């Protein structure tokens, strides 16, 4: 997964496992993060991603496996001696100190001389573009400012790796969108490895160089965002990353690259086999088709050439500007989502219209269940 | 607001009732305070004119409180006792808070109840039980080695221990409540920034607890200062103020110098109580 | 932290608690229990026995005093609840935001004044030469002075006054936690004031009510100054009996027995109260 010639990894995990009693929260996770990347760990809540991060920070001890920072194992290093800094979910800025003292805290712990502390705090504030806020109290800051101060507090210590534990979770939608871009820019600016934990796939896709999808204590797939989206390795990744129409069904036979499926709702589909497990006639399968790959044409108009055609009527139109969507009910039952462009003109699709849906076999991802 | 439900007449009646209640609350305190300024030998009507003699006059029969040696020494002992009690109770309250909020150990819930119990034991019983216990030990030591441990005989040490025995519950509850509100990720953040455990404690956790510790200390001080029931059984020759005042009342009857002391105490406690309220709400959200 | 360090710090945190409870609460109480079961048979010669308790039972004045103390304490508790509840409700739910803080503070101020001063104030108001009597004379309503002091009513007034704040404070904090919407929903669903009070407000405030009642009852039953100063010679309060045994008659064994009896009696009443109200000590007193 690295496109760099030097094998410089800021963070390596090897077979990291964590048991809480009989419950295995993290199960043999291995990965390496190249220097200077934005790496996200994406997973539903309870998948073990927070536990994994706490082990990297040193707040939990792995039951098995090894964690290396810049090539050196840190298992025996206590949390306050690791050069891995962490932005907490609720930021954990110290309310009894002002901005300057929050940022200076780590420097003072490190025994940086007094004279130098002032300069370094000013420098890092400059880099997060909040140079005038040094003497503000924490409760006087806006949500976005707090975010940047929390990052500045860590970056003042020049960490090898910065961990971020869903720090955008508490922000409202608008600010969250803005902060996504900002975080990416900050990462470039500091040129430090960021490990970002989130359950929000859009955060992970937008910001990251690499994303690891985690489920039930294991990594399902590590890859670039577009790989995860277009070439998911497992059914879980296909379902978790991006929107899709999803069917359960049975394989009826294969023909070259194409596998023929009959879904439980009775649709006959042609798809392309994905994942590692072999698919033959009789295999139970999960089928995913992303709404943007389905073309909607009126029943009266010619449909494009494609492996899959299904007629139906529009059940409802979900208007959302350029990202509008229709829900189509085929005669067999169930609903199929397809993206459409609505221009506001009289030719727009409406509920009740008869339509034909078309999509390619290559866009129909079939996994053995 | 729930008041929208009631009719205006009812609300007026309600307000009058509340007003009457506060008159009821204030009346005896007012009576106790006002006669300190009446130029009379008895704390009673009619009003004879304003005077500060009961505070500052240095001759009998109107000996002012600041020249009354017994009252002053009572004030001094009360102060010393209250100071010791509040220091001790805040310390134990803080360790108890960490014990019950941060640690897991067997019978934790039962022991938490045990911690509350001293607050509901009648003060008189705390007094006699500690008196008996201390005397038993002192007697046993005397019988065994002929050594007299005067600390275990009625006196300041026993008074402090007796008051501490139930005031520690109050401080524990106050400080525990604050520690429960503490977000432990602040400690983890400090550790993550490279602080040692001790540094985290002194720069993060204790500063967070400080308002509660100050407030608990003030409450402990005031409760100790006004305590009578427990103190009564444990007091030696160094009588604190409440005991001195009670003796005066029982032996001489009420005199306006007692009003002067009452006024002085009310103002002092009022100021301290206000201070504890201020300490509880610094300019930071919890 | 390593395992050993954790264990050591747990021991260090546990030590003050254990010393406090063991040396100042548990052992002293076992001590008076043991002492109460000792009978003096000759100077400096003692025997195990229940003579001190037998004396309590055979001497009607003792158990009458205990029953009187208990019943008057219950009455005081009841009065404090009836008088205090509307006040707490007003502070928590009806007063405006600013008035609320001020009223609450006003409620607290007498809390920081000694029992002695409060009783002293009542003496100055109630006695024959006191403010009320003199004022009535001045208004011509009575010729001679009236003695309001040294009767049960004065004792009850003084006790209610002394303890009512301990009823109001927990009530305010529980009522404060109850959203106005809950009351409004009650009316909205067709309840009248009485049903809303009975079905919504009182059940919600139950932990506060029980907490207040426990503290008030224990304080009243264990009080010493107020009954003696306001009730005079014949106040017959049980703590006075304990004092007499201990200090005046120097009969520690008898006094210890009385102490144990008072403790058992009051704890019994509190236990019955908790049982009847379905609450526990942890969610009532511990919360206030």
Q: Is the per-residue pLDDT at B164 higher than 80?
A: yes
Looking at chain A, the whole-number percentage of residues with pLDDT higher than 70 is 98
Q: Could you give the percent of chain A with pLDDT greater than 90? A: 46
How large is the average pLDDT for residues A118-146? 90
Predicted confidence at residue C282, as pLDDT, reads: 66
How far is residue C271's CA from residue B243's CA, in Å, rounded to a whole number? 33
Beta strands in B31-77 (DSSP E): none
pLDDT of C191 reads 67
> How many separate domains does chain B show?
1
Which helix (H) or strand (E) segment is B122 a member of?
Answer: none
How many residue pairs from chains A and B have C-beta atoms closer than 8 A?
68
CA distance A168 to chain B (A): 16
pLDDT at A2: 42
Name the pLDDT band for C1 (thresholds 50, 70, 90).
Answer: low
Contact A78, A58 (CB under 8 A): yes
- Å from A140 to nearest chain B CA? 10
If phi > 0 it is left, if psi is from -120 to 50 it is alpha, else beta; for residue B35 that is alpha
Residue written as tokens 């009243």? C220
Does A109 contact B207 at a Cβ distance shorter than 8 Å?
no
Q: What is the pLDDT of residue C190?
A: 66
Query: Is B44 an 8 Å CB contact of chain C?
Result: yes
- Residue B170: which CATH number? 1.10.3720.10
- Looking at residue A236, what is its pLDDT? 93
The whole-number pLDDT of residue B84 equals 96
pLDDT above 90: residue A190:
no
pLDDT level of residue B134 (50, 70, 90 thresholds): very high
Residue A16, chain B, CB below 8 Å: the answer is: no
Interface test with C, best of B6, B20, B21, B28 (most C CBs within 10 A): B28
User: What's chain A's average pLDDT?
Assistant: 88
What is the biggest distance separating any 2 CA atoms in chain B, rounded to whole angstroms? 78
Greater confidence (C281 vs C60) lies with C60
B258-286: pLDDT as tens digits: 888 888 888 888 888 778 777 766 544 43
C-beta separation of C35 from C256 below 8 A: yes
For residue A238, what pLDDT band results from cuts at 50, 70 and 90?
very high
Of the partner residues B192, B203, B207, the one whose CB lies closest to the CB of residue A57: B192
Does the beta-carbon distance from B2 to C94 stay under 8 Å?
A: yes
Asked if pLDDT for residue A49 goes beyond 70, the answer is yes
* Strand duo A161-165 + A193-198: pairing: parallel
Q: What is the mean pLDDT of residues B239-249?
A: 88
State whether C215 and B119 contact (CB < 8 Å). Answer: yes
DSSP string, A295-325: EEEETTSPPPP-SEEEEEEEEEEE-BTBT-E
Residue of C nearest to B112 (CA): C282
When pLDDT is averaged across residues C66-90 and rounded to a whole number, the result is 91
* pTM higher than the cut 0.95: no
pLDDT at residue C286, rounded to an integer: 58
| Domain annotation covers residue B57 | no
Q: Does C116 sit within 8 Å of B246, measured CB to CB?
A: yes
Can you tell me the mean pLDDT for A229-258? 90
Compute the average pLDDT of residues C162-184. 80
Retrieve residue A76's tokens: 């025996």
Report, as an integer, the average pLDDT of A338-350: 82
C218 → closest Cβ in B122, B227, B262? B122
Contacts of B35 in chain C (CB under 8 A): 124
Q: What is the pLDDT of residue A7?
A: 47
Answer yes or no: is pLDDT of B76 > 60. yes
Taking only the tens place, the pLDDT of each residue in C268-287 is: 888 888 888 777 766 666 55
Q: Residue B90 has which token pair? A: 């805040």
The answer to whether A89 contacts B185, with C-beta atoms less than 8 Å apart, is yes
Segments of chain A assigned E as strands: 9-20, 23-34, 38-42, 64-69, 72-73, 84-87, 161-165, 193-198, 210-215, 218-223, 245-255, 258-263, 268-273, 284-289, 295-298, 308-318, 325-329, 336-339, 354-359, 365-368
Q: State how far the Cα of A261 lies from the Cα of A361, in Å rounded to an integer.
A: 11
How far apart CA C284 and CA C170 sit, in angstroms, is: 9
Give CA–CA dist B23/B15, Å, rounded. Answer: 12
Q: What is the pLDDT of residue C195?
A: 74
Using the Cβ of B109 and the Cβ atoms of chain C, whether some distance falls under 8 Å is answered with yes
* Rounded Cα distance, C207 and C173, in Å: 10
Nearest CA in chain B to A57: B192
Domains delineated in chain C: 1-36 (no CATH), 51-287 (1.10.3720.10)
**Helix, strand, or coil here: A94?**
coil
Select from 1.10.540.10, 3.40.720.10, 1.10.3720.10, 2.40.50.140 the CATH code of A291-362.
Answer: 2.40.50.140
Report yes or no on B132 lying in a domain.
Answer: yes
Q: Mapping DSSP to helix (H, G, I), strand (E, B) and coil, where does residue C158 land?
A: helix
Selection from C269, C84, A52, C77 nearest residue B22 by Cα: C84
Confidence of residue A228 (pLDDT cuts 50, 70, 90): very high
Among A145-149, A237-241, C104-108, whose mean pLDDT is lowest? C104-108
- Closest CB from C21, C242, C285 relative to B124: C242
Whether pLDDT at C203 is above 90: no
Does a structural domain hold residue B124?
yes
**ipTM of this predicted complex?**
0.84
Least confident span in A119-128, A183-192, B191-200, C91-100 = C91-100
- Residue C166 backbone zone (phi > 0: left; psi -120 to 50: alpha; other: beta): alpha
Using a pLDDT cut of 90, give the percent of chain B over it.
Answer: 30
Does residue A225 carry a pLDDT above 60? yes
Contacts of A86 in chain B (CB under 8 A): 188-189, 192
Each residue of A233-266: b (16+ CB within 10 Å) or e?
bbbbbbbbbbebbebebebeeeeeebbbbebeee
Query: pLDDT of A99-108, one tens digit each?
Result: 999 999 999 9
> How many other C-beta atoms are found inside a 10 Å radius of the C-beta of residue A81?
12
Q: What domain range is B146 assigned to? A: 70-253
Mean pLDDT in residue range B105-132: 89
A26-40, A234-248, B125-139, C247-261, range with the lowest pLDDT = C247-261
Task: Assess contact for A53 and A41: CB atoms under 8 A.
Answer: yes
Please list every residue in chain B whose beta carbon sits closer than 8 Å to the beta carbon of residue C17: 92, 95-96, 99, 111, 115
- Fold classification of A9-236 (topology level): Rossmann fold (3.40.50)
B178-232 pLDDT, tens digit per residue, is 999 899 899 999 999 999 989 999 999 999 999 889 989 988 998 898 888 889 8
Look at B5 and C187 and tell me if their CB atoms are within 8 Å. Answer: yes
A318/A179 Cα distance (integer angstroms): 27
The pLDDT confidence band at residue A26, using thresholds 50, 70 and 90, is: very high
Residues ≥6 apart with Cβ < 8 Å to A300:
A354
pLDDT of residue C14: 93
pLDDT, residue A32, reads: 92
Chain A residues closer than 8 Å to B194 by CB: 80-81, 106, 109-110, 157
Tokens of B260: 């002067």
| Average pLDDT value for residue range A120-144 | 89
């Amino acid at each position: 997964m690295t496109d760099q010639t030097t094998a410089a990894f800021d963070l390596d995990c090897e077979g990291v496992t964590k048991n809480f009693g009989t419950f295995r929260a993290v199960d043999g996770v291995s990965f390496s993060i190249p220097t200077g990347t934005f790496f996200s760990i994406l997973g539903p809540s309870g998948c073990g991603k927070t536990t994994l991060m706490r082990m990297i920070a040193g707040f939990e001890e792995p039951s098995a496996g090894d964690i290396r920072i810049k090539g050196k194992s840190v298992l025996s290093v206590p949390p306050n001696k690791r050069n891995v800094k962490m932005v907490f979910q609720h930021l954990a800025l110290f309310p009894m100190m002002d901005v300057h003292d929050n940022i200076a805290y780590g420097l003072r712990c490190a025994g940086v001389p007094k004279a130098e502390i002032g300069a370094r705090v000013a420098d890092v504030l400059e880099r997060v573009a909040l140079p005038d806020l040094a003497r503000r109290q924490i409760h006087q800051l806006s949500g976005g400012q707090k975010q940047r101060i929390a990052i500045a507090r860590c970056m003042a210590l020049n960490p090898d790796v910065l961990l971020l534990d869903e720090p955008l979770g508490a922000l409202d939608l608008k600010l969250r969108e803005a902060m996504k871009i900002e975080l990416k820019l900050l990462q470039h600016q500091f040129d430090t490895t960021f490990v970002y934990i989130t359950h929000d796939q859009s955060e992970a896709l937008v910001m990251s160089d690499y994303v690891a999808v985690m489920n039930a204590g294991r990594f399902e797939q590590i890859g670039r965002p577009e790989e995860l989206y277009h070439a998911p390795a497992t059914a879980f990744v296909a379902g978790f990353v991006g929107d899709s129409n999803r069917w359960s069904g049975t394989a009826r036979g294969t023909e070259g690259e194409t596998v023929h499926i009959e879904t439980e709702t009775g649709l006959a589909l042609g798809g392309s086999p994905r994942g590692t497990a072999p698919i033959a006639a009789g295999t139970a399968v999960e089928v995913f088709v992303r709404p943007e790959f389905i073309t909607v044409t009126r029943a009266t108009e010619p449909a494009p050439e494609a492996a899959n055609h299904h007629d139906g009527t529009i059940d409802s139109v979900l208007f959302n500007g350029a990202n509008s969507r229709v829900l189509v009910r085929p005669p067999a039952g169930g609903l199929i989502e397809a993206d459409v462009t609505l221009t506001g003109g009289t030719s727009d699709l409406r509920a009740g219209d008869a339509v034909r849906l078309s999509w390619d076999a290559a866009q129909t991802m079939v996994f053995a269940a | 607001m729930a008041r929208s439900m009631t009719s205006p007449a009812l609300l007026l009646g309600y307000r009058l009732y509340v007003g009457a209640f506060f008159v009821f609350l204030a009346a005896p305190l007012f009576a106790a305070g006002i006669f300190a300024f009446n130029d009379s030998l008895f704390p009673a009507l009619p009003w004879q004119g304003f005077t500060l003699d009961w505070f500052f006059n240095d001759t009998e029969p109107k000996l002012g409180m600041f020249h009354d040696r017994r009252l002053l020494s009572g004030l001094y002992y009360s102060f010393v006792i209250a100071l010791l009690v509040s220091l001790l109770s805040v310390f134990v309250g803080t360790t108890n808070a960490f014990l019950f909020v941060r640690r897991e150990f067997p019978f934790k819930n039962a022991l938490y109840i045990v911690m509350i119990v001293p607050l509901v034991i009648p003060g008189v019983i705390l007094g006699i039980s500690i008196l008996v216990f201390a005397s038993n030990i002192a007697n046993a030591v005397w019988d065994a080695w002929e050594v007299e441990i005067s600390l275990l005989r009625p006196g300041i040490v026993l008074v402090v221990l007796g008051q501490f025995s139930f005031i520690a519950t109050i401080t524990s509850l106050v400080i525990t409540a604050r520690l429960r509100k503490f977000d432990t990720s602040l400690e983890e953040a400090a550790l993550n920034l490279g602080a040692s455990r001790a540094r985290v404690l002194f720069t993060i956790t204790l500063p967070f607890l400080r308002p509660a510790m100050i407030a608990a200390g003030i409450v402990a001080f005031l409760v100790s200062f006004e305590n009578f029931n427990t103190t009564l059984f444990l007091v030696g020759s160094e009588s604190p103020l409440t005991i001195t005042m009670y003796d005066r009342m029982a032996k001489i009857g009420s005199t306006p110098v007692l009003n002067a002391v009452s006024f002085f105490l009310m103002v002092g406690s009022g100021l301290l109580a206000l201070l504890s309220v201020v300490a509880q709400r610094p300019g930071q959200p919890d | 932290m390593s395992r050993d360090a954790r264990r050591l710090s747990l021991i260090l945190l546990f030590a003050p608690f254990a010393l406090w409870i063991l040396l100042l609460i548990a052992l002293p109480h076992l001590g008076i229990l043991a002492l109460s079961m000792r009978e003096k048979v000759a100077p400096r010669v003692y025997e195990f026995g229940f003579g001190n308790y037998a004396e309590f039972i055979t001497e009607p004045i003792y158990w009458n005093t205990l029953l009187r103390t208990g019943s008057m304490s219950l009455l005081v508790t009841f009065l404090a609840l009836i008088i205090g509840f509307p006040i707490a409700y007003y502070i928590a739910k009806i007063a405006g935001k600013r008035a609320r803080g001020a009223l609450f503070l006003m409620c607290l101020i007498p809390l920081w004044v000694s029992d002695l001063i409060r009783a002293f104030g009542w003496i100055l108001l109630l006695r024959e030469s006191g403010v009320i009597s003199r004022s009535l004379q001045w208004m011509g309503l009575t010729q001679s002075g009236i003695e309001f002091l040294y009767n049960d009513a004065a004792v009850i007034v003084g006790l209610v006054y002394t303890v009512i704040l301990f009823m109001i404070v927990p009530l305010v904090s529980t009522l404060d936690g109850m959203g106005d919407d809950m009351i409004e929903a009650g009316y909205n669903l067709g309840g009248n004031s009485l049903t809303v009070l009975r079905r919504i407000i009182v059940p919600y405030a139950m932990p506060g009510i029980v907490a207040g009642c426990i503290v008030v009852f224990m304080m009243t039953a264990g009080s010493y100054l107020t009954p003696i100063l306001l009730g005079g010679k014949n106040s017959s309060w049980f703590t006075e009996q304990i004092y007499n045994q201990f200090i005046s008659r120097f009969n520690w064994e008898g006094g210890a027995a009385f102490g144990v009896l008072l403790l058992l009696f009051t704890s019994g009443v509190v236990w019955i109260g908790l049982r009847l109200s379905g609450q526990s000590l942890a969610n009532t007193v511990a919360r206030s």
